[in-house]
Chain A
Amino acid sequence: MQEKINKMSLRFTGISENEPFARSCIQAFCLPLNPTISELNDVKTAVSEAVTNCIVHAYSDEGGPVLIEAETADGRIHIKITDEGSGIEDVEKAVEPFFTTRPEDERSGMGFTVMKAFMDDVKVVSKKGEGTTVEMLKIFSSNTADDDAPETAWGQDA
């Protein structure tokens, strides 16, 4: 049985007040897929990490637009988080555990490590001065996809 594709997009100001808001929204959007509490928490935590990066690094606490797009189908969620901020000079370095450009601010440098550990796939595309896009995939165990089901048609218009 093939499920219908469900899509949402959410645009908000990248300020720390909006972190709980972003987490609540993604949680609510996942619920129809019957995720376990642990899976739901993985998604919430990964989104929190990506949104924190937008707030702290992309916009240096000055705010700017953050766009979350998500799509669910076949027991999986595909999430894309985009900012129009400063961008990352060296993505390979940025995703290394404990790497941070701001150690003086008590940053752990574990954001991307958490995203990679908690999600099934993470892709980071960034260009200095032009913003960053993080794409993440989570496959929910409670809803194992039919082998014949097509890949999620990410990028198609609703």
Chain B
Amino acid sequence: MEIKFKSISNKLYVYLYGELDEYTSRSMRNLLDNLLEQYLQSRAVVFNLANLSFMDSTGLGFLIGRYKKLKNYNIPVYIENPTLSVEKVLQLSGIYEIMPKI
């Protein structure tokens, strides 16, 4: 699993690559939080999931955890381009209520 990012007009785009499960979420959690801490001036964070080939409910917990941290700084979170398989888990969970798909 790999994370790439870019900031465009004060929006932070985070690109997740690979598979997000119990194994990968453990190491990614700190890595991503360290990154987010450097971008707390952002007006939004967008998780781009176009290259996330697999995610289970541990991934939901992972995304919701980041959402809660960013909420403390009033930074809205969005999801874009999930793959079909990841989309199914996201839809089922109702997560788009708190982090809309754009």
A residues whose Cβ falls under 8 Å from a Cβ of B: 16-17, 19-20, 23, 37-38, 41-42, 44-45, 48-49, 52, 55-56, 105-111, 113-114, 117-118
Contacts and interface: CB of A to CB of B under 8 A. Distances in A.
Given A16-B26, A52-B22, A114 B58 contact: no
20 contacts: A16-B22, A19-B22, A19-B23, A20-B23, A37-B84, A37-B85, A38-B84, A38-B88, A48-B54, A48-B56, A49-B56, A52-B57, A106-B64, A108-B57, A108-B60, A109-B57, A110-B92, A111-B56, A114-B92, A117-B92
Interface string B6-25: 00000000000001011100
B56 A41 contact: no
B99 interface: no
Interface in B22-73: 22-23, 26, 29, 54, 56-58, 60-62, 64-65
Contact of A110 (B21, B26, B60, B85): B60
A102 to B, nearest CB: 9
Interface residues on B, range: 20 to 34
Contacts, number: 70
Contacts of A108: 57-58, 60-61, 64, 93
B29 to A, nearest CB: 8
A113 B89 CA distance: 10
Nearest to A110: B57
A114 B56 contact: yes
